[in-house]
Amino acid sequence: MIKVRFAPSPTGFLHVGNVRTALVNWLFARKNAGHFLLRIDDTDTERSKTEYEAAIKEDLSWLSIAWDSLEHQSKRFDRYKIAAGKLTASGRLYACYETPEELDVQRKMLASRGLPPIYKRATEEQNKKYQAEGRKPHYRFSLHDEEITWEDLIRGHVAMKATTMSDPVLVRADGGPVYTLASVVDDGELAITHVIRGEDHVSNTAVQVQLYKALGFAVPQFAHMALLKTKDGEMSKRLGGNDIRALREAGILPMAVNSLLARIGTSDAVEPFATMAALAEGFDFKKFGRAPANYDVAELEKLNEKLLHQLPFTAVKDQLSFADEPFWLSIRANIKILPEAKQWWDILHGEVEADLNHDDRAFIRSTVTLLPPEPWNEATYDAWIAAIKPTTTRKGKELFMPLRLALTGREHGPELKKLLPLLGQKKVIIRLAGRVV
């Protein structure tokens, strides 16, 4: 069975970039009836916070990115220790003693000679000296000098030379595992079949391919997505930033976020999808391009608007606890973002102000007695206008704008034929009469 994982570090809130990774993993799993594991990468005990973990879960749930199982790296330290022991036993893990400053000097010396910054192992003698100084070791993985290759589901055939890479640190001086090791142990032991992540991990993958093998695990398949790029090259502040919770607080719908993030950077057009099932249907790695995916907030807002206009009341009723279905169906086409619905509710149920001149007031006065009798429905407005027309020389905007202003206090908004039944005859008379005095 296909099994994927999304592995956020709980050191901050999810942003659109992380969510795209989560979503692509989820869609791939869903499309293939696979398993989606949420792995909390909390080995950094100082920076990891349970509040962030809670926030990550809340954001994923809001997006309908449901996980089939949950793991915490912080509960698996013993597994990483055992794996490190295996590597030591097979001669692939070795102790190093250099300080960060010494490593920096080493890199600078190499650079001054025009050489790449590849870690050079200390001699036995040097190590003995470091040990005598009482230094605590950290541990590096000894890479085999060979070409590392894999068939990437997005990038195709990838080949990298181990000789161009430094032996990676796997265990810190305090005995804690580095991500590079922990991730491979988890992927191996939890039987991950596909590792889907950003292309900033390509060089990690090269190292990790050797590590899976050294630990006796099957090497999973990889898909490295091109990174997200914002239109102006920087993260947008328009909707309060690119944290998912900022988008949620701004009133953006989860399916607008999902629809955009699933499609940007692919050969499919960006379209609004109402359900995750519909999004998953067309999922295919073959559609993913190598160029950075452009994330544009304006596009998100457009999708959001399109989705909003089709939403049934059941989809919004929890957020619009004050409202009812006839109200929603009347105003949904006229809002760009859900919180605007409240403004229309207040316009219909509160007080409205309109700035009307003397002529407009006289005209409005003449329309009150022409209002059709109740019950009112969507035909009422046309019947009213038909009754008004023979009594006035006003036409078009001159005729309906004073009515709209008197009834809503706004120049734009939902069709009056929809608003009249919502207001009801009594309130309409009060509003029209209110302009006359």
Q: In the bound complex, what is the minimum distance in angstroms from residue 58's beta carbon to ligand GLU? A: 18
CA dist 375 to 345, 388, 420, Å?
Answer: 21, 19, 11
Pick the closer one to ligand GLU by CB: 9 or 266: 9
CB 419 within 8 A of CB 340: no
Pick the closer one to ligand GLU by CB: 14 or 171: 14
Pick the closer one to ligand GLU by CB: 15 or 197: 197
Pick the closer one to ligand GLU by CB: 4 or 262: 4
User: With the C-alpha atoms ordered 364, 370, 376, 382, is the resulting torsion angle positive or negative?
Assistant: negative
Q: In the bound complex, what is the minimum distance in angstroms from residue 187's beta carbon to ligand GLU? A: 8
Question: Phi/psi at 218 (nearest 5 deg)?
Answer: -70, 140
Q: In the bound complex, what is the minimum distance in angstroms from residue 134's beta carbon to ligand GLU? A: 33
Q: In the bound complex, what is the minimum distance in angstroms from residue 21's beta carbon to ligand GLU? A: 7
User: Tokens at residue 14, please?
Assistant: 């999810």
Residue nearest to ligand GLU (CB): 41
Q: In the bound complex, what is the minimum distance in angstroms from residue 179's beta carbon to ligand GLU? A: 6
Pick the closer one to ligand GLU by CB: 57 or 332: 57
CB 265 within 8 A of CB 292: yes
Q: In the bound complex, what is the minimum distance in angstroms from residue 375's beta carbon to ligand GLU? A: 60
Question: Phi/psi at 146 (nearest 5 deg)?
Answer: -145, 165
Number of Cβ within a 10 Å radius of residue 26: 30
Give CA 120 to chain center in angstroms.
41
Pick the closer one to ligand GLU by CB: 47 or 309: 47
User: Tokens at residue 355, please?
Assistant: 């700035």
Pick the closer one to ligand GLU by CB: 56 or 420: 56
Q: In the bound complex, what is the minimum distance in angstroms from residue 25's beta carbon to ligand GLU? A: 9
Measured between alpha carbons, how far is 270 from 264 in angstroms, rounded to an integer? 7
DSSP string, 213-248: HHTTPPPPEEEEEPPEEETTSS---TTS-SBHHHHH
Q: In the bound complex, what is the minimum distance in angstroms from residue 283's beta carbon to ligand GLU? A: 19
- Nearest to 314, CA basis, from 306, 302, 323, 303: 323
**Which spans of this chain sit near ligand GLU (rule: CB under 6 A)?**
7-9, 41, 183, 197, 201
Pick the closer one to ligand GLU by CB: 57 or 197: 197
Measured between alpha carbons, how far is 52 from 55 in angstroms, rounded to an integer? 5
